[in-house]
Amino acid sequence: MSTLNILHFPDPRLRIKAKPVEIFDAALRTLIDDMFETMYAAPGVGLAATQVDIHKRLLVVDVSEDQDAPHAFVNPRIVTRGGVSVHDEGCLSFPGIYEQVERESHITVVAQDGDGQPFTLEAEGLMAVCIQHEIDHLDGKLFVDYISELKRGRIRKKLLKQQRQAS
Ligand code: GNR
Ligand code: NI
């Protein structure tokens, strides 16, 4: 297993729209394992393939305290939605940035596992927030797209400065 490099905003590759996964092979399962390892090491509660520069519709989530509830979603789709929740969100592609985002509070997701088996999952709370945040990544959408352009510009400037100092 290995950890993968996470892209940071405003990297334009975060805007690429991911394509459906069509082949469920050993390479896909290795990628899923590497995404879990990368997410746990960060640490984060979710990771979309887009963030590691792989533009396939694949995401991993684990919102448990003990990092013992891994969920991988391949080709996820939200099929029912309802309610409203506002949550303070962070993102591994935006180190140190937190913003309140309004999302659906209850969702039903249909997806496939690493073997291509379809499954359905109902989610609420942080799990629902996280799945919506990750599916947005697959569509090239970022949590700062929900806040004002002024704030987004400030965040861009702050992160570019951090990146200059780090390199
Ligand atoms: O680790 C993460 N925490 C988080 C907190 C609130 C709402 C969403 C998230 S997802 C984020 C990891 C990440 O960037 N996933 O794309
Ligand atoms: Ni994110």
Q: Give me the pLDDT at residue 1, please.
A: 84
Residue 149 has pLDDT above 90, yes or no: yes
Atom of ligand 1 nearest to the CA of 94: 14
**Burial class of residue 72, CB neighbours in 10 A (0-12, 13-18, 19+):** buried
pTM of the complete model: 0.98
Q: pLDDT by residue (tens digit) across 100-117?
A: 999 999 999 999 999 999
Spell out which residues line ligand 1, taking CB within 6 angstroms.
Answer: 44-48, 51, 87, 89-93, 129-130, 133-134, 137
The pLDDT tens digits for 1-58 are 899 999 999 999 999 999 999 999 999 999 999 999 999 999 999 999 999 999 999 9
Instruction: Give me the torsion for CA of 146, 101, 34, 17, rounded to 10°.
Output: -20
Q: How far apart are CA 32 and CA 80, in angstroms?
A: 26
Q: What is the rounded CA–CA span in Å between residue 141 and residue 154?
A: 18
Annotated active-site residue in 37, 104, 124, 134: 134
Q: Is 134 a known active-site residue?
A: yes
Cα(first)–Cα(last) distance of the chain, in Å? 26
Q: How many other C-beta atoms are found inside a 10 Å radius of the C-beta of residue 94?
A: 21
Closest CA to 75 of 53, 59, 91, 96: 59
